Structure 1
Amino acid sequence: MTDLIDAFVKLHARLEPVPLTPEISLHQADEPIGLWELTEGEFRSEQPPPFWAFAWAGGQALARYVLDNPSVVAGRRVLDVACGSGLVAIAAARAGAASVRAVDIDPLAIAAVGANATANGVTVTAERADILDGEADADVVLAGDVFYSEQFAKRMFAFLRRARKAGADAYAGDPGRAFRPGGAGTQVAAYDVPTTMALESMTVKRTSVWRLP
């Protein structure tokens, strides 16, 4: 089944540079609707739409910030939580992280992370798991575009706060999603991120990077 999932990712997503981080290429889908319908079949994800197939604005902004500020991750153990395509994890690896772990609940995301890491010549450990009720076990936790639903945002914010209390740094990239917590922390950067009408109903989305308190 793993080989079949890997083949599905490569068949339905083309390797292309990411608009805000063109030094990184990802397997990306042309449009969401057809792929969403496909993943409702044998490859059905627990969290449609197929987040792994697109470079979401929050992830692009966070990846750009990491690439431009490598000291955030250099020589440190990094966790990309709810990693999707692995864009942020790949950025951390390129910026000199000692190790990078990318976690998602979607098996297609895990396959995409593997394919994308290989395409970019970096090492990322991809793991299918729901870790939001546990501990981060990392020096730096990165979360790109994770405040899109109320329940998930609450769980994610609690996880990030626990990571901070345990001594880790935590950063989130967010394009103004409805459920970003009011105490998200300090804004450390903002970008105009290229996106698509199909995903965001606009072609450029102002997106911030937050460092949790």
Structure 2
Amino acid sequence: MIEARGISKQRGGRTLWADLALTVAAGEVVALTGPSGCGKSTLLDCIGHIDRVDSGTISIGGVDAGRSARRARLLRRDHIGYLFQDFGLVHDATVGTNVDLARPTGLGRRRGLSTAAALEQVGLGGRSTARAHELSGGEQQRVAVARLLVKQPSVILADEPTSALDAVNAALVLDRLESFAAAGAAVLIATHAPSVTARVHRVVTLGDGRDRGPA
């Protein structure tokens, strides 16, 4: 589902990674690890078509957007879901509005759960009218997971999704990411957390070329 071939990226005159190859299959959860500054978040941005690589190719579901901004936008809209360390919510908007923002529009779009059903699944039933800034960090990340439930993306990119959470909320997020993979999504998680790497199918470490099974 995710296939990167020979990709390279420089930032500030420094090479983050060069001639990198990475694949994540449908139904697979892969952790991306490495020291701070090695380019994990940048790699997620490039795979998610928010940023561009300097060389090489990245395809999502067999589609390579190349240098086309329009194709990149369609891939983000139709196939990719994000889970950010800072939750990525509109803080002054209601919980329901934040979830609805992720809903696919137009004919032929895949239909996920209703907003109410998604919030029930993450333990936030009845909280749709609360403002995002009124929620705890764990609750905000659960709203972000609810957005994935209504979008049902085929690729999920998660950047340190458990770093600001307690053990209970971290486990809930990981449970949901595993359930997305079980339903056929390709899930790539940038993380420093051993509790995350212990639960994935593979671990890829930037900086030393390692690709191994669960820790």
* TM-score, scaled to structure 2: 0.38
Structure with bigger RCO (C-alpha 8 Å, 6+ apart): 2
Quick check: which has more Rg, 1 or 2?
Answer: 2
